[in-house]
Amino acid sequence: MREYRIAAIPGDGIGTEVIGAGLEVLRALEKRDGGFRLAVEHLPWGSDYYRRNGRMMPENGLELLKGVDAIYFGAVGDPGLPDHVTLWGLRLAICQGFDQYANVRPARLLPGIPGPLRAVKPAEFDWIIVRENTEGEYSGAGGRVHRGLPEEVGLDVAVFTRTGVERIMRFAFALAGARPRKRLTVVTKSNAQRHGMVLWDDVLAELRGDYPDIAMDKMLVDAMTTRMVLKPETLDVVVATNLHADVLSDLAAALSGSLGIAPTANLNPERKFPSMFEPIHGSAFDIAGRGIANPLGSFWTAAMMLEHLGEKAAAGRLMGAIERTTGEGKFLTPDLGGRATTREVTDAVCRAIAGDNS
């Protein structure tokens, strides 16, 4: 029996609901497969933990997580606490502490979920956005001086390192090479940002020759938004900075039908540290506790986690079950224009897994 240690951190808001649903689906897969077992540790970290303990996770949180095979994460963000405190205290602390530099965000059309782009066929909209995940605009470098005075200054310094840029580009080229269309679009803003973004261009020029079989093109981030809407079929793998890809991936999720279905992997590709898997939708306090959160983002995320663990058959089975369920048309939550509850979608996906005789 193959056994994996999983740390489940549901976090805030709908995080609890969708991670709970995801763990049920994972149990159904375990049962169906029979070859692997997930030993799940439940970690109640997040904003409530902060209210009790003055921090988002224990001081030795990273130490506690170090030995697990993967982290299954819900969301952070609480209306009663400053977002930058909750985020830097947990999610970003894990991404940076575990050098999870490759943030992988697939977006595509699932059966039964049309999305707002009328002209595009499902086979033409199949993207993976690779987001640099440890530096750039999210480096955390900067400061505030002269607080409260008219001369007050706030600085957020975007930090780009040759190592950081090169490794994310090589990751994206390799990912593009493993896909049928072998296309990579490199996004920057090097017309306006003349230092770090030009470093991206320089590094790209240097390593481009190592990937002769990849069709590569470059886009400025503003033009990229129009291309995503008007020519979605021309895109395959996209690589961009931390902030640019943050914005583009929300657009990608909306174009694929809803933020509620979009998954993420925060990878440490060298596997020196555990990687972390999370739906991208966030804590969504407006619908928390109502039982209507879309669990599909968390299911798709679970499929990415299984893939990372090497359980490819189970990952494929889960994606198949998701697609059969959305294809039926009646198990769509309100964000997708339906009326199904988290419970109903979860049960439907579990049934699809149990009934999968492949």
Catalytic machinery residues: 138, 189, 222, 246, 250
The one of Mg ion, ligand IPM, none whose footprint includes residue 254, by CB under 5 to 8 A per kind, is none
Report the nearest approach of Mg ion to the CB of residue 280 (Å): 6
Q: Select 81 or 87, whichever has its Cβ closest to ligand IPM.
A: 87
Q: Select 221 or 349, whichever has its Cβ closest to ligand IPM.
A: 221
Position 246 contacts Mg ion (CB under 5 A): yes
Report the nearest approach of ligand IPM to the CB of residue 256 (Å): 15
Q: Select 257 or 282, whichever has its Cβ closest to ligand IPM.
A: 282
Binders of ligand IPM among residues 239 to 258 (CB under 6 A) are 246
Report the nearest approach of Mg ion to the CB of residue 157 (Å): 20
Residue nearest to ligand IPM (CB): 246
Pattern 25-54, binding to ligand IPM, x per CB under 6 A? ------------------------------
> Distance (Å, rounded) from C-alpha 348 to C-alpha 292?
14
In angstroms, how far is the first alpha carbon of the chain from the final one?
20
217, burial (CB in 10 Å: exposed 0-12, middle 13-18, buried 19+): exposed
Residues 6+ apart with CB under 8 A from 294: 18, 258, 260, 261, 281, 333, 335, 336, 342, 345
- Which of 281, 275, 273 shows the shortest CA–CA distance to 252? 281
> Distance (Å, rounded) from C-alpha 25 to C-alpha 73?
15
**Which whole-number Å values give the CA distances from 356 to 9, 317, 327, in the listed order?**
29, 8, 15
Token duo for residue 241 = 């900075």
Phi, psi of 218 (to 5 degrees): -120, 145
With contact defined as beta carbons under 8 Å apart, do 45 and 90 qualify? Answer: yes
Instruction: Write 136-139 long-range contacts (CB < 8 A, 24+).
Output: 136/160, 136/164, 136/196, 136/241, 136/242, 136/243, 137/241, 137/242, 137/243, 138/92, 138/242, 138/243
- Interior CA angle at 69 toward 273 and 353, to 5°? 140
Q: Contact with ligand IPM (CB under 6 A): which of 282, 295, 297, 338? A: 282
Pattern 146-185, binding to ligand IPM, x per CB under 6 A? ----------------------------------------
The one of Mg ion, ligand IPM, none whose footprint includes residue 282, by CB under 5 to 8 A per kind, is ligand IPM
> Distance (Å, rounded) from C-alpha 28 to C-alpha 152?
55
Report the nearest approach of ligand IPM to the CB of residue 77 (Å): 6
Residues in contact with Mg ion, total (CB under 5 A)?
A: 1
10 Å Cβ neighbour count for 108? 20
Residues 6+ apart with CB under 8 A from 266: 94, 95, 100, 102, 103, 133, 275, 276, 277, 278
Q: Select 10 or 77, whichever has its Cβ closest to ligand IPM.
A: 77
Q: Select 283 or 325, whichever has its Cβ closest to ligand IPM.
A: 283
> Distance (Å, rounded) from C-alpha 192 to C-alpha 15?
38
Q: Select 87 or 93, whichever has its Cβ closest to ligand IPM.
A: 87
Report the nearest approach of ligand IPM to the CB of residue 25 (Å): 21
Report the nearest approach of ligand IPM to the CB of residue 303 (Å): 18
Position 280 contacts ligand IPM (CB under 6 A): yes
Q: Select 29 or 284, whichever has its Cβ closest to ligand IPM.
A: 284
Q: Is 145 helix (H, G, I), strand (E, B) or coil?
A: strand
Residue nearest to Mg ion (CB): 246
The one of Mg ion, ligand IPM, none whose footprint includes residue 87, by CB under 5 to 8 A per kind, is ligand IPM
Report the nearest approach of ligand IPM to the CB of residue 188 (Å): 19
The one of Mg ion, ligand IPM, none whose footprint includes residue 89, by CB under 5 to 8 A per kind, is none
With contact defined as beta carbons under 8 Å apart, do 234 and 216 qualify? Answer: no
Position 262 contacts ligand IPM (CB under 6 A): no
Residues that bind ligand IPM (CB under 6 A): 77, 87, 246, 280, 282
Residues that bind Mg ion (CB under 5 A): 246
